[in-house]
Structure 1
Amino acid sequence: MSGIEIKLSQEIKKILLFGFVGGFGFIVDSAVLYLFKSVLGLYGARGVSFVAAVFATWLLNRSITFKEHRYNYWYQEFAYYFLYMILGGFINIGVYMFLVTISITVNQYPIIGVAIGSIAGMIVNYLSSRFLIFKKK
C-alpha cells in the first residue's frame, strides 16, 4: 500500500467511527428529547438533548475516533469540542426547528426532525473535529 492509500484508509476509518459515534449521539439526543418534551416543550427539550448528545459524542470520539490526539486536560478538550459543536448544532437545531414548524408530521414525530438535523450538522462537526479540535499536535 502506498502512503496515500494508507492515509485514505485511515481517513475512511475515522469517518466511519465518527458516523458510528454520531449514531449513538442520535440515540442519546432522541431519548433525552422524548424524556423532556412534555415538560420543556419541543424546543426546550431539544436544547437539553443537544447538550447531552454533545457530551456523549465527545466521550466516545476522544476515546475511539480521535484517541491519538487527545488533550492533556479533558476539560479544555471538552470546552473546545462543545464550542465547535455549536456551529454544527446551529445547523442541526435550525433544520429541526424549521421542520417542526412547517411539517405536521415532524411536529407529531420529532425524531424525524432530529434525524434530518443530525445529518445536516454531521459534516460540519466532522470537519471541525478532525481538523480543528483533534488535529495533530
Structure 2
Amino acid sequence: MARMIFLNLPVRDLAAATAFYVALGGEVNPQFSDEQTTSIMLSDAIVVMLLTHERYGQFTQRLIGDARQWSQALIALNVDTRDAVDATLARTTQAGGKADPNPAQDHGFMVSRSVEDPDGNVWEIVWMDPAAMGAQG
C-alpha cells in the first residue's frame, strides 16, 4: 500500500468546510463520512478529515486552537498549471474561503497564492515548472 497523508482538521461548520474542500478539488468519500465527519479525498494519497469540534475532541485532550488567530501549520497543495492557481482561488473563495491572507509569490518558475478555509487554516496553492526550476540552480 502506498503511503498516505491524513490531515485531521477541527471545523466549526461541517457543511461550510465540506463545500470549501470540494471547491479546493476534493471529493467526498461517503464511506468515512457521517454527521460529524467528512472525508475529503484530495488525491489517492491525500485525505482531509473534517471533524466537528465534538468529534475532534474525542481524539485529543488538548484545547482546539483557533487557526484564525495562530499559525499552526503551513499546508501547500500543487496544481498542474499557472492558471490553475487563480482558478483554484476563485473556486475556493466562492465556497467561503478568504483569498490571499498571505502575499502572493511569483518566482517565474514557481507561483503561489494562499486561501484561508472557513476555520482559518491557510492553504498555499502552488504551481512549479520543474524544467525552469532546474535551470535556476
Under TM normalisation by the shorter chain, which class is it? under 0.3
The structure with the greater share of residues assigned to helix is: 1
TM superposition score normalised by structure 2: 0.24
Using the size of structure 1 for normalisation, the TM-score is 0.24
Greater share of residues in strand: 2
